[in-house]
Amino acid sequence: MALSAVLNRTVMAVATLLGVAIIVFVLIRVVPGDPIAMMIGPGASASDVIALRAHYGLDGSVSSQFLVWFKSALVGDFGISITMRRDVLTILGEHLPATIELAGLALLVAILIGGTVAVVGTLTRGRRSGAIVDAVNGIFLALPDFIWALIFVLLLGVAVPLLPLTGRIDPSVQIEFGTRFFLAESLLTGRFKVASDILAHMAMPTMALALPLAAVIGRVLKQALTEAMVQDYVLLARIKGMSELRLILGEALRNAVGPTLALTGVQATFLIGGTVVVERIFAYPGIGNLAIDAVINRDFPLIQGLVLLFGLIFILINVLVDLAVVALNPRLRYG
């Protein structure tokens, strides 16, 4: 039953993605501004404009344009970028790995920080130190990722310049990569000096994305742990002489992970959305930064490709989280 529910949610998500694609397709064509006029030279003739519009498929009605684009998208052809004049799918493939590495590292850091905060908060509940942990976590929760990004820029990039402000890797690093996953490839091939440079460039955007998510994980996991700590099986283990830390990690945590995982999956989609602004602040070459450039330049094919890509990422995250929750909960698996 649970797996069929996951399948139903996936089908609904795909239908929603199609609806979003249609809405975005129409809106970017209704909003004033002509991408052809922005890219063409001042001395171009009317026939040149007409030829370019036909070349990029902008000479028909909105409905006919959508049908042409949709048929091509089904076979993996998302068109040619108006500003970059390259295949959209190729451009997305070049920028997506950077965002995956950034978001993946941010998620890992958020889980580590949030888990630590939850455990410490549960251990110190009812004490002054516990109230301090909650207050600090509240501050992390109140500030959005782009505010943290600006704080890190001012503190670690300007006031005390300890970390590089922009980019993904130092331009002086002259190394050929076999893939676009620079960090993963550097670690797997033992090029730790290169990996440390990449990590230095990723440090501030990673922390900016991770801290708000860590606060959410910490609060939800602490609440789940607190509820689990008063259950009979935990009380029985306490009577047997187990320490509080062992009770939390060995007994309570396994039942507290489920609700935390479900919420983390939802928040992970917001983390992906947060990369748009954070990547822009740090000039990080991912799909978030690319999306802002596409909107500014009214690059219709690139915008449409990005919308589909973001939608597919959100669907994939939700499906994986649903499957993980089902796998961790026998009651969902068998009834």
Residues forming CATH 1.10.3720.10 domain(s) in the chain? 98-286
DSSP string, 166-235: SSSS-TT-----SSS-HHHHHHHTT-HHHHHHHHHHHHHHHHHHHHHHHHHHHHHHHHHHHHHTTSHHHH
Contact 259, 274 (CB under 8 A): no
pLDDT tens for 188-244 read: 999 999 999 999 999 999 999 999 999 999 998 988 888 888 777 778 877 877 777
Q: Which helix (H) or strand (E) holds 264?
A: helix 253-281
Q: Does residue 270 or residue 199 have the better pLDDT?
A: 199
Question: Tokens for 41?
Answer: 């030279």
pLDDT tens for 51-73 read: 777 777 777 777 888 888 888 88
Say which CATH superfamily domain 98-286 falls into: MetI-like (1.10.3720.10)
**Which among 139-143, 208-212, 272-276 has the top mean pLDDT?**
208-212
- pTM of the full predicted structure? 0.85
pLDDT at 1: 45
Mean pLDDT of the chain: 84
Helix and strand numbers (H, E) in the chain are: 15, 0
